């Protein structure tokens, strides 16, 4: 057995030879190797046992379900690994922070887009101008071409109120964009960098990563459950202790059980992130918002302007068609730069800024 000191030395030598990216791909190879070992052991030990002992129906069902789960898991894994999370281009110029005093930027909620794409209202143009001047800021939101509230890509700022500028990429970072020092680029809606995938999880591959967690959890649970039942029956019929049974059975039960217990917590965590429209980074950090160029900065860890309801949050990541939700295909909603905003949260933010700037509101 290698001592912990020797193991650290071997890891250090691997790092010198392969580099950080090489080590990540080495982990990638280990995952494939473990998956292949599970497949061989499961087929030869369990399914073959069913087929050779007058239980062909159970053997066929186990083989069929196993391959469905395995294919979906590995398909999701490859998609998450080889799909870029998305990155704002170096030529992308982000507009100034949203100015709530600009009537050309903010559009009343009672206006809708016509079939031709123009914004229409039941009132005359003169009445619209008068009503817009008197309308409170909390009744105004930004709409995209579909009449949906959006962010212009620059409502999140630094603690100082300055633009979130990336010195390494040389670009203004859109909302929810972060720089990854491993990938050496800015990634849209960056969640985290996953060393097991050797890739960042972000806007374009979040669905694939989530599906990998879901199918890996079900895959591990399925292996553990379908293996432990015949092992218990065998031990009861032969009075042989379970610990003395073939180690391959123990390997399947323990590995499947440990992985399923670990992954189910991770899966539930990311399910909650999707339903609340957050990333791992956003759930851990305070956010700073500014809606005017010369306005004040609003700091909050709990105000999430991107939460537009559980259903809409889910559709943003998983897609509008329910029958594609658990298949690793399709593209996410949006361009990864502009995001739908929670109208209530945005109105609250506008109202708080208005009160700060109004001396009569200060108690």
Mean pLDDT comparison of 165-174, 184-193, 279-288, 330-339, highest-scoring range: 184-193
Distances (CA, A) of 334 to 95, 163, 223, 338, 344: 18, 22, 38, 7, 21
Contact 190, 278 (CB under 8 A): no
| Residue ranges per structural domain of the chain | 10-84+204-275, 107-113+135-202+279-361
H or E, element range at 255:
helix 247-275
H or E, element range at 109:
none
pLDDT tens by residue, 46-82 = 666 666 666 677 778 888 888 899 999 999 999 999 9
pLDDT at 17: 36
Contact 170, 90 (CB under 8 A): yes
pLDDT at 139: 37
- Taking the C-alpha atoms of residue 70 and residue 84, their distance in angstroms, rounded to an integer, is 23
Please give the model's pTM, rounded to 2 decimal places: 0.73
Average pLDDT for 184-189: 94
Average pLDDT for 173-183: 92
User: Which residues are annotated as catalytic?
Assistant: 194
pLDDT at 77: 93
Residue tagged 């909390």 (tokens): 138
Contact 149, 157 (CB under 8 A): no
pLDDT tens by residue, 247-304 = 777 777 888 888 899 999 999 999 999 999 999 999 998 888 887 666 677 887 778 8
Mean pLDDT comparison of 7-16, 18-27, 34-43, 322-331, highest-scoring range: 322-331
């Amino acid at each position: 057995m290698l001592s912990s000191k020797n193991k650290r030395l071997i890891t250090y030598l691997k790092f010198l030879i392969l580099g950080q990216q090489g080590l990540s791909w080495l982990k990638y190879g280990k995952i494939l190797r473990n998956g292949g070992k599970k497949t061989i052991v499961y087929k030869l030990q369990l399914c073959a046992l069913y087929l050779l002992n007058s239980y062909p129906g159970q053997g066929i069902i186990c083989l069929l379900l196993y391959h469905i789960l395995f294919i979906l898991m590995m398909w999701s894994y490859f998609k998450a690994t080889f799909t870029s999370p998305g990155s704002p281009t170096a030529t992308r110029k982000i507009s100034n922070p949203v100015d709530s005093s600009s009537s050309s930027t903010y559009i009343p909620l009672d206006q809708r887009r016509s079939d031709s794409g123009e914004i229409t209202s039941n009132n005359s143009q003169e009445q619209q101008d008068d009503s817009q001047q008197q309308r409170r800021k909390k009744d105004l939101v930004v709409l995209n071409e579909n009449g949906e509230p959006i962010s212009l890509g620059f409502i999140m700022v630094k603690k100082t109120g300055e633009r979130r500028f990336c010195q390494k990429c040389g670009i203004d970072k859109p909302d929810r964009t972060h720089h990854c020092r491993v990938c050496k680029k800015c990634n849209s809606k960056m969640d985290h960098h996953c060393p097991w995938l050797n890739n960042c999880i972000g806007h374009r591959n979040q669905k694939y990563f989530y599906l990998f967690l879901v199918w890996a959890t079900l895959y591990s649970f399925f292996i553990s459950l379908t293996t432990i039942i015949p092992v218990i029956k065998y031990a009861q019929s032969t009075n042989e202790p379970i610990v003395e049974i073939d180690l391959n059975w123990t390997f399947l039960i323990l590995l499947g059980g440990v992985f399923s217990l670990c992954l189910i917590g991770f899966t539930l965590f990311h399910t909650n992130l999707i339903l609340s429209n957050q990333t791992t980074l956003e759930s851990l950090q305070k956010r700073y918002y500014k809606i005017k160029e010369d306005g004040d900065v609003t700091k909050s860890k709990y105000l999430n302007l991107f939460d537009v309801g559980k259903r809409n949050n889910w559709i943003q990541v998983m897609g509008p068609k329910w029958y594609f939700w658990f298949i690793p295909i399709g593209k996410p909603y949006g361009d990864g730069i502009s995001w739908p905003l929670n109208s209530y949260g945005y109105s609250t933010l506008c109202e708080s800024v208005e009160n700060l700037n109004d001396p009569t509101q200060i108690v």
